[in-house]
Amino acid sequence: MKLPAVIKRLFKRNFDAASGSPRWPAWATLSAPVAQTHAAAYLAGGRAGFAVGSTPMAASLASVYTDAIFPDAPSVKLANSNRAVEQEFALWLAANTAALRLVVRSQFVNGEGLTRMRVDRNGQLQLQVLNPEQLDRSINQDLANGGRIVAGVELSAQDEVIAYHILPDAVDQPFATIAPAQRIPADDVIHVFEQKVPGQRRGISELAPVLTRLHELSKLQDAMLARANTAALFGGFVQDATGQAFGDANATPPTADLSLEPGALRILPVGTTITFPTMPDTGDAPALVKVMQHEICAGVGMPYALVTGDLKDSNYSSSKLGLEAFKRRIKALRASLLIPTVIEPLYRRWALLRLLNGQASMISNATFLFPDWASIEPKKEAEADVILLNAGLRSRAEIISARGRDIQDVDQEIAADHFEPKALPSASQTQETEND
């Protein structure tokens, strides 16, 4: 039975995004996001690594992301306020800051950070940062117990990560041995990546959406530089119709020299002329470079001024608005990615080893506070903190921790300091100083 024409029209793809328009080629679809993400991750990570190592824009993006996510080790607060344990773990984090920053950078460039927790000869926690490609992508299989292995990540029948299949050596290491992957329990491994789609088990580079733009931007800047170099080759050619005025007018190759250098005068052989093509105008190429840089920054969620250092067209309000949005994103990534998948597992393993080493003490849940961003207007922000403190909306501990300090250290320093502060400047004096 044929459907009426009215019913047929109801089933047409009236959305332009789902139409058969030539503007949408058949390949421009993400119909299998998990499989396509896993398939593209290796090549995207390699190209991202090349871009970061070769282009200033990509290198700046990686540095800004790493510095924002993990600028310094966070302060530690335990629920039972065990000061000795707090300081001990804070010192351990500070000593491993370089390794943790490397994990964050790897997550940005390669799409995932991979670390193995080991125990050294003294029974202390030790980090081994691995190449993400040591997590063997080639292992994909169903298991007899209802579980499965997806790109080296072993899952239980309940879809819980229980192990990782890791190669002993990175494939690019000198003297790397060709050995099968080892099954490492999930409790011993930190695998951090930002999940983009449900079911995704491996990460993809944060630069993936903008890699093509970065490549095209690099080519555009090279072309502009080549044109500038060509324009700098200003010289002249002398034509001698008789061939008697200059000795090298009758020279023939390879003796004849027709190379052009800045400020040089060349003699053309008799009967020859030289014609220069009209160089295309740069047009709006510098403006196009800036537009592409804005697109790249928007694609990775970073402020243009922060990545490029270009503050020419910025004002205080717009810069602060962009920076606040970036701060919210970084705080969200710390809360959803860095702390639960990196810092907290490290704390649990560190606390367990401490207990096994005979340092028995009650260890409770911990809170981690990262240093606050550098203040643009410290006076106004300090006044705002005072208002919130007096209103009971913020505690001294929170304010001090946000500045990267511990309230007990600050109180001890204040108690031991016998300095008597001078009188504060009057409001009129402060206003005059600000106006100056």
DSSP 8-class letter at 188: G
Tally the C-alpha atoms within 13 A of residue 57's C-alpha that lie toward its C-beta. 27
Beta-bridge partner residues of 368? 76
Q: How far apart are CA 340 and CA 244, in angstroms?
A: 86
- The per-residue pLDDT for 436 is 44
State both tokens at 143.
């298991």
CB count, 10 Å around CB of 299? Answer: 17
Tens-digit pLDDT profile for the chain (436 aa)? 565 665 555 556 667 777 777 777 777 788 888 999 999 999 999 999 999 999 999 999 999 999 999 998 888 888 877 888 888 899 999 999 999 999 999 999 999 999 999 998 888 899 999 999 999 999 999 998 889 999 999 999 999 999 999 998 887 777 667 788 999 999 999 999 999 999 899 999 999 999 999 999 999 998 888 888 777 766 665 666 665 545 555 555 555 555 666 656 666 666 666 666 666 666 678 888 999 999 999 999 999 988 998 888 777 777 778 888 899 999 999 999 999 999 999 999 998 898 888 876 666 788 888 887 877 778 888 888 899 999 999 888 888 877 767 787 788 888 888 887 665 555 554 544 444 4
Q: Residues of 208-244 as b/e, b for ≥16 C-beta within 10 angstroms? A: bebbebbeebbeebeeeeeeeeeeeeeeeeeeeeeee
State both tokens at 46.
């390699």
Q: How far apart are CA 19 and CA 34, in angstroms?
A: 24
- The per-residue pLDDT for 382 is 86
- The per-residue pLDDT for 236 is 61
- The per-residue pLDDT for 161 is 94
- Model confidence, pTM: 0.80
Start-to-end CA span in the chain (Å): 86
Number of H helices, E strands in the chain: 14, 12
From 370, 356, 328, select the one nearest 122 (Cα to Cα).
356
Q: How far apart are CA 217 and CA 410, in angstroms?
A: 49
- pLDDT digit string (tens) for 74-111? 888 888 778 888 888 999 999 999 999 999 999 999 99
Q: How far apart are CA 280 and CA 89, in angstroms?
A: 62
Q: How far apart are CA 330 and CA 70, in angstroms?
A: 10
Beta-bridge partner residues of 237? 266
CB count, 10 Å around CB of 259? Answer: 8
Domain extents for the chain? 32-227+313-371, 233-273, 372-417
